[in-house]
Structures are given as structure tokens and as C-alpha cells.
Amino acid sequence: MKIKKVKKSKVIASFIIGTLLMFSIVLSAISLFTKFVVLNPEKYINILEEKQIYTKMYEFLDGNLGYALIVNNIDADVKDDIISEEELKIEVNSFVRNLMNFLTTGINNIGEFNVDKYSSRLDENLNNYIRENSIFINNNIENEINILKDEINQVIKSELEIINTDIIVNSSTGIILSKIIKLFVNGFYLIPVIMVGVLIVILNFIWKKDMMRFMQWTGNGTIAAGLFLFLVFFSGYISGFYNNVSIYTIYLRDFVSSLIKNWILILWLSGIVIIVLGTLMLIPLIKNYIKRSKMTKKA
């Protein structure tokens, strides 16, 4: 009776630890995903490149600049060469990297967006347009031109400043968020990973005289974690909910939709990898079971 009681206590303890192991593996996967994907600026830049978001942004900006000129009875060609698609790409990439750097280190290199060089090009184009069309400048026309310049500068600034950084950089909430993320990046993301190692060591201690049982409980917990990740995120992936993101600006909607789809894809594929790892742990147990079955049949 004493032996059975010890075995039962081992099973109960292993069940509890196996369940904790499953949740720890899930948290580890999400934690590592957050560290190396969500907080990695190059992942955002890759999606911007792959989905041609730069081109869409430039076309949208170019159209708005042209509209601002036309409604003021000025030829839309005046917008030519004010800003190029390559310059837009450089500005956006710099913004993304500086924003992620602030969130992960607390160092603010974002600064206020400078439109001076674009404003100078606009001045030059307008002066050429006025000269070529022999337009007489009086006080009223000069005021209208200054208003137009301010409007165009604001259009450029608003399109290239993807989000209002003041909400993040200068608010108490943004500063607290940055501090939390900084702690996470500097080592806290490893806590679930360490927990996985500790729980596996405990299971090994419980079943140190029975490695098959140890592999069974470890493998089952790992497979359960993988199944959880796969089922949750694969169901989200096939539902296509990310295609219905409610954002008015088309290129931003395309970017956010592609970003969410990419994140979900990585997570459910991670689930498959974890399932495979768990299955590999059970191979010795399966081989042992097959071997015993053959011996039983012969007997």
C-alpha cells in the first residue's frame, strides 16, 4: 500500500508540474516572440518593403500634394521633386528604428520631424512657376502662397509622422511603458524560459529512476503547449480577421493587416515546432511500448 501511495503522489505531482510546464512553454514562446519579433524594428521594415508600403505611401502623399496645389489654382507639376520615394523610405525607416529604440532603451532620438529641406524645394518650384507664368505678386497673393506652403508642409509632416510620438515619448504612460519594456528586454523575457528548465529538472528528480516516465511527462507537457499555440493562432490565421482592420488610410491598413498576419503565422508555426519537439521526446517511450507489445504477443 505504501508503494502505491508513493506512485500516486508522483503522478499527481507530475500532472501539476506538467501543466505548469505547458503554460511556461507557451509563455516562453510568446516572450521570445515579443523580444525578437515584436520589438525588432527590422521586422517592420521588412514588411514595409515586401508589401510595397513605401510606394503606396508615396502615391498617397503625391496625390495629396497635387490636390493641395490644384485647389489653389496652381499646376500640380509644382510638387515634382519636392520629396522622392527613396527619401520617404529613409524617413520612415529612421522613424521606426528611433521609436523602437525609445521603447527598448528609453533613449529618445525621435525628435520633431524637420520639413525644412522639402520646404526649400517647394519655394524653389513655386518661384520657378511664378516666373515662368509671369504672375504678379501682391500682398494677397503672397499671403495665399504662404498659406499654401504651410498646408503642403503640414501634409508632408502628417504623412511621414505615422503616429503621434508625443503620446508615447512625452506622456507618463509612454515613459512607464518604455521602462517596463526596457526591463523585459534586459532579461525579464528569459524568466519563462528559466521556469521551463526548472520544471524539467523537477520532473527529472521525481522520475530519476524511471527515465521513460520522465520523458512521457515532459513530452506531454511540451506537446500540449504546442497544440495550444497552434490551435489558438491557426484558428485566428484562417479566420482572416486581420483583413478587416478598421483603419481609414489604405497603406496603413495594408501594413497593419500584413503585420498581424505575419505575427500570427510565426506563432502557429512555432506551435508546430514545439509539437515536433514534444513528439521526439516520446519516441523512446513509443519504441519501448512497441518492444513490449511484441514480447507479449510471443509469450
d(Cα 29, Cα 33) in Å, to the nearest integer? 6
d(Cα 50, Cα 265) in Å, to the nearest integer? 16
pLDDT score, position 294: 66
pLDDT score, position 164: 66
pTM of the model: 0.84
Query: With a cut of 50, which residues of the chain have pLDDT below it?
Result: 1-6
| pLDDT digit string, tens, across residues 86-95 | 988 998 898 8
C-alpha cell at 140: 494677397
Three-state secondary structure call for residue 44: helix
Which contacts (CB < 8 Å, 24+ apart) does range 146-155 have? Answer: 148/68, 148/69, 148/72, 148/74, 149/119, 149/122, 149/123, 151/68, 152/65, 152/68, 152/69, 152/79, 152/82, 152/122, 153/115, 153/118, 153/119, 153/122, 155/61, 155/64, 155/65, 155/68
Crossing angle (nearest 10°) for helices 211-239 and 2-33: 40
Provide the residue ranges of all domains of the chain, joining segments of one domain with +.
2-41+189-294, 45-184
pLDDT score, position 34: 93
d(Cα 55, Cα 53) in Å, to the nearest integer? 5
| pLDDT digit string, tens, across residues 131-155 | 888 888 888 888 888 888 888 888 8
